[in-house]
Structure 1
Amino acid sequence: MLPPPHLGGGVVRKISSAGRTDAVLTVQTSGTAGGYPRISHQKQTWIFNGHLHTFFNVFFFLPCDVAFAPGVLTKPARCLSSVYNRNKMRISSRDWFLLIFSGFWGLAMGAFPSSVQIGGLFIRNTDQEYTAFRLAIFLHNTSPNASEAPFNLVPHVDNIETANSFAVTNAFCSQYSRGVFAIFGLYDKRSVHTLTSFCSALHISLITPSFPTEGESQFTLQLRPSIRGALLSLLDHYDWNKFVFLYDTDRGYAILQAIMEKAGQNNWQVSAICVENFNDASYRRLLEDLDRRQEKKFVIDLEAERLQNMLEQIVSVGKHVKGYHYIMANLGFKDINLERFMHGGANVTGFQLVDFSNPMVIKLMQRWNKLDQREYPGSDAPPKYTSALTYDGVMVMAEAFRNLRRQKVDISRRGNAGDCLANPAAPWNQGIDMERTLKQVRLQGLTGNVQFDHYGRRVNYTMDVFELKNNGPRRIGYWNDADKLVLIQDSPLLPNDTSGMENRTVVVTTIMEGPYVMLKKNWEMYEGNDQYEGYCVDLASEIAKHIGIKYKISIVPDGKYGARDPETKIWNGMVGELVYGKAEIAVAPLTITLVREEVIDFSKPFMSLGISIMIKKPQKSKPGVFSFLDPLAYEIWMCIVFAYIGVSVVLFLVSRFSPYEWHTEEPEEGTDGPPSDQPPNEFGIFNSLWFSLGAFMQQGCDISPSLPHTGGETHKMEDPEVH
């Protein structure tokens, strides 16, 4: 007995003729490439080339029928004749009538194929998007349609490496040669121009959930709505005039250009920083530099992978606390892991495209949760907004094919499944009809109303505005083209919001410190706040009576006032209770410091403590005999005296050893007097002291040292004061 149909396996079709089942044909997958199902060229030619498959359905529909499904291949054409021989059927006149009638019916329907081939191009890290792609095709192919004849979507999928332009070109040309009618594909900045250029040249429509492009591309349908209008409306509401805009070039410069134009009109101070090539260390250095510049408001426009890395670095440097505000400029606020931000105190706002309370989304989630994550990677987590866009993209293609069949448009690819690199290019003749029909599609999908303008961009869509709270993301409003930003009544974004305090119990954190907070003597006999007494206990009671709230005293578990760890940047004590949202108010003898004021707000102090220094006023004294010594310390004066004595002694010793200082006066010729009383050496100890004192006082002296002359004679150093 054959197994029932299931997603990803074979497809079983039972064809009934005259009340009995004549034949059963099972088709299976053959071969994979790059992790995705591939179809060999030999069988692909037979599987579908416009009318060949219709011919088989018309002339052999009695013994068997060939079915197609995602990732499924059919048996060769000879299987039909073998089935016919095994059943040994004879075609009666009634069968011939049905056969001829079916042929004319096919011509009347414009020879619309019962199996429509579509392409799929997926890049790295898009496993969940591929799972959504497969699920959407399976649900379409297996859903009953009583109003009109069904048709199957047959995908041809390639996994491309966007860094290799040749691989991107080869994948697209491979899809084109297989005769696909439209391509669903994802791109990044490296492959966007290649894909859009090929689609424009060959008239093949590209349906993509990737970031919207600003250029006009006739054959590109942008499933992702533009976030520009919603972001500017939110910035206007917050009245930001100074903030940092972090972006990467993967998403283009559309939002950056819009913000800069708005900044020029409103005199905003915007610091735009591209973080495309940043690593973890670069993120941390950037955040620390911005913190020194007192930047507290950020708009982050990054793709999911880089955004998550950026948020981890924000937490690592402690910038997720109160006083910081972040706006996530993407459409999947619930897709972001903000668990570490929930109790940090920072304000985080973003946009959400998928409404998980929508009945259509709930119904799909029931099917999604039943998928085997080993076979369908990414199914263990809720679908991201890009996966929801992928699902809607398949639905858009299916609806467009229905409209083409109703209009009896012949979309066959006869003569068009050739070389995409031909010069000149040979575009698909019916590509214009396909593109026009796709842009006319309007349906309700997982991302709300799906509708396009003549440029292929989403219009008339609605996105929700979310804000992170202690218990997770909470919807605070929505945005659309008609109403712009609309906030719900209980939103904390509204000014002067005081709702919620009267209807809940406020947690007041404090610390056991007498006489401020103490346990009563018989505290075991009491409950709650009655167990405590002290100045802060009475103060909290009076404040609660004055503003009319209920409160609960909570003693800080670690018994600390509050300090930030220099490595982890995490606050402990009562300050940590406030920063991470475990308490709303702290009533305690908490010292007001600069680092604490950066993360929490203080009231006016109820007590001022400190140390005072008293200094005696100096009295004026009359100058004495030795007052001239006051400018210098006694140690300095002692050094001067010793230097004076030392120089004199050295001068005396030098004069003793120098032969030029020894001299005798000879009596003049013709005189017969006694010898002179002048000593043979003028530099005795007293004269040396006298010479040093004169030099120190910058005054002259009658004696001076003798120096050797070049001529061999002695020369007296003459005092400049003498002349």
Structure 2
Amino acid sequence: MELNLSQADSFSTGKRVCGAVREGVAAVIGPRAPASTGIVQSICETMEVPNLQIYPEVQQHPGCCVISLYPAQESVAQAIADVVRNFLHWSAFTVLYESDEGLLRLQEVLKAHGLEDRKIIVRQFVPGKDQRKLLKEINASNETRILLDCATDRVLDVLQQARDVKLISVYHSYFITSLDTHTLDLSEFEPGQTNFTLLQIVNPEDMNVELTVNYWTDKYYYYHRRSLGVTAETVRTETALMHDAVFLFARALHRCYFDVNQSFSVESLECDDRHKWIYGLPLANYMKISEMDGMTGKIRFDDSGRRTRFKLYVVQYFTGEFRKVGWWETGHGVNRTQSETEKEAEIQKSLQSKKLIVASRIGEPFLTEVEPRGELQGNERYAGYSVDLMGKIAEIVGFQLEFRLVESNKHADLVNNLIARTADLAICDLTITHEREKLIDFTMPFMNLGISILYGKPVKEDASLFAFLDPFSVDVWIYVATAYLGVSILLFVLARTSPGEWDNPHPCRSDPEELENTFNLMNCLWFSIGSLMGQGSDILPKAVSTRMVAGMWWFFTLIMIASYTANLAAFLTLNRLEGEISSAEDLAKQHKVKYGTMAGGSTAGFFKNSNDSTYKRMWTTMSQSVPSVFVNSNEDGVQRVQKANGKYAFFMESTSIEYQVERKCDLQQVGGTLDSKGYGIGLPVNSPYRTKVNGALLKLQENGVLQELKEKWWKAPANESCSAKDASELDEDSNKLGLANVGGVFVVLIAGTLTAFLFAVLELLWNCRKIAVQEKISPCEALTSEMKFALNCSNENKPVRRRKEEEEEEEEEEDAMPAGVTAGSFARIGFEKFRDKE
């Protein structure tokens, strides 16, 4: 006989067991109550009656007749730990347990948690059935992974209460330790809404299980004319273990006695006389060494009668049905049977026709409102890079989306929406940072960037009228002028002191009465200026000293002219810009230009948390600046740079700077990037959509779509592009010289010619005065006569004006000459007589 003991107290259970033994039993199965296990085992051990246990044991009582078909608690605990760590890959989660016995099943999970892992929250049920307050506290902690350990009949009640406090959603995952959770009806929870993971010892795919269930349901229907309501998928662990216990005992009984035709009888035993049943110990020993395939798999025991080397199956309920996704076996750990393709297919199935909420903020070029506002509906109200990118991802993954703006238009609200799970995705210029990754999940970066400096573009210098003087500094021009005067005066002095520079004014006279020197002060100045201009002079030095000075001066002018010519082209064609800032180090070294970031953004966090001494110093300067150098948004920072006239620089993401510089021609990016980071799409923690969205982003990147979208929204139209304008202006400047570049040369030419004309007028007036004195006429008459001659361009020879006394003397000499002799022939005759006399 077999005795099945249900829930009862220890005293009544002992009385029932003794009464049953007195009537005669072959084995005792049970008890169900953990508190009664000790007394039942004690009685069975004393009388050597086999005790088959099919319920979880709280504490093992070693004995020769105890055989436990229920998996050992430490083995189940190890299975739970392996599934959590190696199958689900949970590093942080909340443990919610009902009784102290549950901690025994969770001990391996708690011990396996490392010091570097994120904290595990452990909470016990509060007294009573209502656990909503406790569940609200768990929900407030933003934890989405829950390890639930409670009785099977309380699982549904706890899950329903969790749904009431919004602890059931697509972002929450539950691991339920009860081996009978698969028998519960979870259809009231929306399919695909929450992922439930559980363990079960009965394999519904096993043919023996299906045949056994069909056999017993048919028998039940035959005798009772109604369905048993049990299928291979809903067989409880207790039922399967009861079946295996009965068949194990029956198999042992047949093998030990009936198959060998030995006598077998059940005796009446008394609990008081300590009499033992002679057949009990051999039956128990045989069952310990037996192996059998039952409804709970392969049944094997160790020497102490505890079940060993068993399998537990990992089952998940995600898309409206239970699916076996893996298994755990003693000594082999956990193994996954569900492929990644099958897992992605389930996620894909849950995404079909599902509308995801996408949180975003207004900010060019990621998202802008389409004009006219208020007339459009849905996603048609918005345009930008974010809309196009999410549209491409939705096409690949297969879901619908709805854009919603955050109220304050700040990045912090985007993160808060994901934490509160009021949004499924968040996209904008949201930088992936360590602090944000503690609160939300990110996809792979869809755009790489770094922090750079936005600064006002230096204003071009107005072209100088005397730009041709720029190749030399003022000091050099002064030194050149001083050298010119010094060399001219030195040449004049040396020429007067050197005998070699004094020449005979009349070469025909061998013994002149006086000598002349051509290097007077005016000629020395003319010689020096001619050499400096590279034109030379009609007079040259003859003495050694003067030639040496001239040679050194020519060498000096050679170098100066070559240097001037080499630099002149660059100074005339290059538009120099006034700019003092070229890097972050330049900003840190000065105090004239203020600099700042957006308050509370990732850029401010970079300076605040940096270990670099320069960036630390810059953060201190920014924090202590009065008025504040921080702004509320990137748009405010751009406007402040434009209005500051070069007195403010703004640290900003390089991609945003590229967009602004492309459209605002008075701005420029200064220096390179200070760091390297990326923009990512934000998701709530443990979002099931992360893998699919990552795959879509990778596909778009490989196909070049991401680059195309960036060029579409970052590049301005050709007629508005500052880069195109700068390129055209650069081409024009490099090919042509304007009047402003060489205007000074014309000014010098005009000034020189006017000065020459002035000197010509002065010379004319002075000459007319001399003529008037000599000819004793008025200056006006002399001026009139000179002007008439000058304006008569046909005259190539000008007669020599003489005084009247000279003209009368010449007339008298002509009258005294012989007839037919001209003045020239008379002079020639006089010269010949002078020569003959000599």
Which one has the largest radius of gyration? 2
Structure having the higher strand fraction is 1
TM-score (norm 2): 0.43
TM-score (norm 1): 0.49
Structure having the higher helix fraction is 2
Q: Which has the higher contact order (CA 8 A, sep 6+)?
A: 2
